[in-house]
Amino acid sequence: MIVPKLKRNYNNLYLFNLFYSSSSSIEDSYDDVSSLGASGAITGIDTIFSCLFPTSTVIYYDLELPSWLYMIVFMVVDIYRSITLTNGDIDTIGHVGGGKYSYNILLFKYTIILKL
């Protein structure tokens, strides 16, 4: 199963998400917002969780949403805020980069490992 493999590689996934989300922010930044913290890496870990456990419930304010729907809404809002420059001081491109990296890792790397 994929979950034990992710547990063993959690630190690596977190660090690569941190690197990729920061590099996405540097590469695709449209304004003078800088990356601060690890929100892109956390978004990547949340994306992995949502892909592996799509029916789990996430409570967002007073709404109970399935995790897959929450991540889609979160990413669409961050992409919209990045394009329209309504992100304020939040590095929304970093969030999108972390989520995109994690999704690609799950889509390609771990599906290949599971087939072996």
Residue pointed to by tokens 């490992």: 113
Residue 115 has pLDDT above 70, yes or no: no
Tally of domains in the chain? 1
Instruction: Give the model's confidence band at 116: pLDDT under 50 very low, under 70 low, under 90 confident, else very high.
Output: very low
Residue numbers of the domain that contains 102: 2-28+37-115
Bigger pLDDT: 102 vs 17? 102
Rounded Cα–Cα distance for residues 39 and 75 (Å): 13
Residue 33 has pLDDT above 60, yes or no: no
Residue 4 has pLDDT above 50, yes or no: yes
Claim: this prediction has a pTM higher than 0.85: no
Task: Tell me the pLDDT tens digit for each residue of 68-84.
Answer: 999 888 888 888 887 78
Taking Cα atoms as reference points, which of 88, 83, 82, 100 lies closest to residue 40? 100
Classify 31 as helix, strand or coil: coil
